[in-house]
Amino acid sequence: MPYQELTVRTHNRIEGVDITAQIQKLIREKKVESGLLVLFVPHTTAALTINENADPSVQQDILAELNRLIPLAGPYQHAEGNSAAHIKSTIIGPSQTLLIEGGRLALGTWQGLFFCEFDGPRTRKVWVKIIPE
C-alpha cells in the first residue's frame, strides 16, 4: 500500500503547525490498534518535531531561539537567500517514527507533533506510512 499524503498550509515564514489531530484522524480511519507510524517531509526547508503543545509559548521560544542561532541574513553562500531555512531543516530533521497503541499515537502527556515551516508561507506535504503490527 502506498504512503498517504497530508497537506499542510503554512501562513508565516517561520511557523510550527500542530498536526497531531490530523495524524490521529488518519490512524482512526485506518483502524490500526497497534503498530508504527513513519512521517517524512519531502522538503529541504521544513522539518518535523515533537514537543509541548499545551503551552504555545514553548513553540514560540523554540522558533525564536532557532532564529537567534541561525539568523535569516548571514554570511551564506547559497544564492537563493534561504540558507537559514535549509540549516534549520537539517538540524530539526525531516522525519519522525512514532508508536501506535490502543488505536492512537503513543505520546507523552504534554507532547504534540509539529510541522516546522522555515521558508513559508507555502503549501507543504507530509508523507505518512502506517505500519500495523
Give min distance, CB of 125 to Zn ion, in A: 17
Size, binding site for Zn ion by CB under 5 A:
2
Residue 59 engages Zn ion in binding (rule: CB under 5 A): no
HEC per residue, the chain: CCCEEEEEECCCCCEEEECHHHHHHHHHHHCCCEEEEEEECCCCCEEEEEEECCCHHHHHHHHHHHHHHCCCCCCCCCCCCCHHHHHHHHHHCCEEEEEEECCEECCCCCEEEEEEECCCCCEEEEEEEEEEC
Closer residue to Zn ion, CB minimum distance, 33 or 80: 80
Per-residue contact flags (x/-) with Zn ion for residues 80 to 99, judged by CB under 5 A: x-x-----------------
**Which window, 30-38, 60-68, 76-84, 87-95, contacts Zn ion (CB under 5 A)?**
76-84
**Which window, 9-17, 19-27, 56-64, 74-82, contacts Zn ion (CB under 5 A)?**
74-82
